[in-house]
Structure 1
């Protein structure tokens, strides 16, 4: 590998990590969505944690791409950054507010983000190193 290739791969890894922070923030702030007629249609004031689906899809993609870009050992970075962003921003949000809702949706978000990404991390670590 040339020096430019290593710099490019590390730069792309940094972009992936910034994307991870942005996605975790979006998933956290839109977690309390409800069918209450304000943002979504009014259908009985039911909670709709649609950002859990976003977490289920995007966190494994970020972990897999990090493993391809910077090697299997760097595949853990998006998962750690995602968890830290959700926990720190959720518990110590802007202005000291508690952003993480304290019900089943928070557990669903954490499970939906961590479990599929952990499976992808395991498969990334199991792949043989490129030479």
Structure 2
């Protein structure tokens, strides 16, 4: 027996667009504020050390976007905000406005990409696995 998924309602499509727009904005915000330093201009002056506070934002918000999409829309669509975030960070980071390289070329870039993509991918896999288990009626035992 094959189960055909129901098409998305207009409200679900609107929420998916809103979540993708949120992923786009978060990706841009995290990318542009990644080079913050403790130099006394934006953050307090404490030795001019790099302070990638947007990595914490990425670690918290990317899995939240994936989980929200899985709950509100459908688990199979929860990959879309994660892909939007990754494409924005990599695309805008490598070919920024005017062809500038926005993504800093050091450990902070790896931390941002890993800190946003890895937790999001873990939540995505967990959600898809739970949905598949619930759909097939597989029981642990």
Q: Same fold (TM over 0.5)?
A: yes
* Pair 1:94 & 2:97 matched: yes
The structural deviation recorded for 1:57 is 0.1
* CA shift digits 1:53-103 (9 cap, x unpaired): 000000000001111122111010011110000001001001111000000
The structural deviation recorded for 1:126 is 1.4
> C-alpha separation between the residues in 1 aligned to 2:51 and 2:131?
41
Q: Which has the larger radius of gyration?
A: 2
Unpaired segments ≥5 residues, structure 2: 1-5, 136-141
> C-alpha separation between the residues in 2 aligned to 1:109 and 1:32?
11
* Pair 1:7 & 2:10 matched: yes
Counterpart secondary structure, 1:127 = helix
* Pair 1:127 & 2:104 matched: no
The structural deviation recorded for 1:41 is 1.0
The structural deviation recorded for 1:14 is 0.5
User: Structure 2 matches for 1:29-108, cutoff 5 A?
Assistant: 29-108=32-111
- Checking the alignment, whether the CA contact within 8 Å between 1:72 and 1:127 is kept in structure 2 is no
Structure 2 length normalisation: TM-score?
A: 0.86
The structural deviation recorded for 1:50 is 0.3
> C-alpha separation between the residues in 2 aligned to 1:70 and 1:119?
18
Counterpart secondary structure, 2:78 = helix
Please, what is the CA RMSD of the aligned residues? 1.8
> C-alpha separation between the residues in 1 aligned to 2:84 and 2:127?
17
The structural deviation recorded for 1:127 is 2.2
| Segment drifting more, 100-109 vs 64-73 | 64-73
